[in-house]
Amino acid sequence: MSVVRNEDDWSPQTWQQRPAQQQPRYAADGELAKATDRLARLPPLVTSLEVLKLKRALAEAQEGRRFLLHGGDCAESFVDCTSEIIANRLKVLLQMSIVLAHGLKQPVIRVGRFAGQYAKPRSSDEEARDGVSLPSFRGDIVNGADFDEASRRPDPNRMFEAYAHSALTLNFTRAMVDGGFGDIHHPEYWKLDWVEHSPRAIEYKRVVEEIADSLRFMKTVGGQFVDSRMHTGFYTSHEALLLHYEAALTRRVPQRGGWFNLSTHLPWIGMRTAALDGAHVELFRGIGNPIAVKVGPTTKPDELLRLIDVLNPYEEPGRLTLITRMGKSRIAEALPGLLKAVRQAGRRVLWVADPMHGNTESAGNGYKTRRFDNIRGELDLAFDIHAAEGTRLGGVHLELTGEDVTECLGGARDLAEADLSRAYKTAVDPRLNYEQSLELSMLIVSASRA
Ligand code: PEP
Ligand code: MN
């Protein structure tokens, strides 16, 4: 399985001959080359065996036998690489995956948007404040968020820090997943007081009781079973935006006959960098990983088909995940044509919905926010549209945290604009908090059954 057959015209450097969007302008002082040479000698963060295992699981999701839960911060930051934040984020993802596995009656593939989610695309190269213009903040892997010249200067050595923080995050995550969290399989220990605040409290309580019952039952019939069904591993993912970094972590694995990006299991190409003839598509067409691409409301069906041809010419199962991010108000007009075109062309992909990025707005008090009802509404519509087109929505892509932040409006506690200032902590986009995330996982189950 995997890999490039046309290596004569591809190498991890051929992207350099293509237009590369969203890259920092590093100084021409030799530091960049020193940094990438050194990075290229460091050990990989993940292995090709893990990457191929995920690809097989995604192939099953494509066939309707698994569901993908893909979630985490919009942007990780170095200061948030703490035991508490990492553990809480992992816990909420694991709890959501239990709700989904139970409700959808199929195994859930858990993929974190972390251990490498440090580079951000920006709408403008420069940011101006009070007549001063500086390079935009592009994520901790590139420059610092503070608005001063020294912080905003792109520094290639930040790539080491990103590599190191990714390794620290991954190490702690692997230890927690392998060691097991005692309280994950006991919903009676989950934080559920928010349920009382919802008009759907009775329904939510029933879901939690059913999960608790079935977990108790499985434990009675054999503890092993609980683990083998629920413990399907944990994978990492990030937007593979900063090409110098991604290329330095792209390695040849002779035993598997090809190249892999070993900075993460599932790299994805963002909406702003998915041009067919662009540098990102060039680098990622050559690797053996499963890859994902974000698809927005302006993508045309024929463009999408050409992208599928370039990224998955041999129709490998599990190779390509398309993450649609349309917005609640545009999905009904934008999604059906794409689903139809891909189905009629006989192409197989895993369709995933990102209900976050098309639903960002400014609150009256200036905060960048998203409404829980729009997030949920886009997901409901995505399930309906797939059902009508005879395709399958096989996963969700969410921006979330395990912390009690106030960044998105609504949810069981009905967060209002006035609540946003209480705990607005995101480095870039607003995330669902612990309670909103768990609630959304319950609503995904209802939407999938509707
Ligand atoms: C993101 O996932 O944070 C992002 C920038 O998404 P998109 O490429 O879909 O806009
Ligand atoms: Mn985002």
* DSSP-assigned letter for residue 177: H
CA-based nearest residue to 36, from 218, 158, 137: 158
Q: How many residues does the chain have?
A: 450
* DSSP-assigned letter for residue 400: B
What pLDDT, on the 0 to 100 scale, is given for residue 189? Answer: 82
Ligand 1, atom 2: nearest CA belongs to which residue? 74
CA-based nearest residue to 283, from 307, 311, 304: 311
182 pLDDT above the threshold of 70: no
Known binder of ligand: residue 399? yes
Distance from Cα 289 to the centre of ligand 1, integer Å: 20
- Segment 225-235 shows an average pLDDT of 59
Q: Tell me the DSSP string of 200-249.
A: THHHHHHHHHHHHHHHHHHHHH-HHHHHHHH----EEEEE---HHHHHHT
Euclidean distance between CA atoms 368 and 397, whole angstroms: 19
Euclidean distance between CA atoms 425 and 100, whole angstroms: 27
Triad 248, 312, 352: Cα angle to 5°: 90
- Segment 134-159 shows an average pLDDT of 98
How much is the pTM?
0.96
365 C-beta neighbours (distance < 10 Å), count: 10
- Residues of the chain with pLDDT > 90, as a percent, come to 88
Residue 229: pLDDT band (50, 70, 90) is very low
- In this predicted structure, which of 54-58, 282-286, 389-393, 425-429 has the lowest mean pLDDT? 425-429
Indicate the top mutation candidate among 120, 136, 269, 271 to test ligand 1's pocket, ranked by most ligand atoms within 8 A of CB: 271
Residue 223: pLDDT band (50, 70, 90) is low
What pLDDT, on the 0 to 100 scale, is given for residue 185? Answer: 78
For 247-304, strand residue ranges (E) read: 250-253, 258-261, 266-269, 291-295
CB 251 within 8 A of CB 288: no
Distance from Cα 72 to the centre of ligand 2, integer Å: 10
CA-based nearest residue to 324, from 276, 368, 379: 379
Distance from Cα 297 to the centre of ligand 1, integer Å: 13
Distance from Cα 357 to the centre of ligand 1, integer Å: 6
94 pLDDT above the threshold of 80: yes
pLDDT in tens, 250-263: 999 999 989 999 99
What pLDDT, on the 0 to 100 scale, is given for residue 228? Answer: 45
- Segment 223-232 shows an average pLDDT of 49
In one-letter notation, the amino acid at residue 5 is: R
Residue 5: pLDDT band (50, 70, 90) is low
- Segment 145-170 shows an average pLDDT of 98
Q: What are phi and psi of 163, to 5 degrees?
A: -60, -45
Q: For residue 113, give the ligand nearest its CA.
A: 1
Q: For residue 119, give the ligand nearest its CA.
A: 1
Euclidean distance between CA atoms 78 and 8, whole angstroms: 39
Known binder of ligand: residue 113? yes
Residue 217: pLDDT band (50, 70, 90) is confident
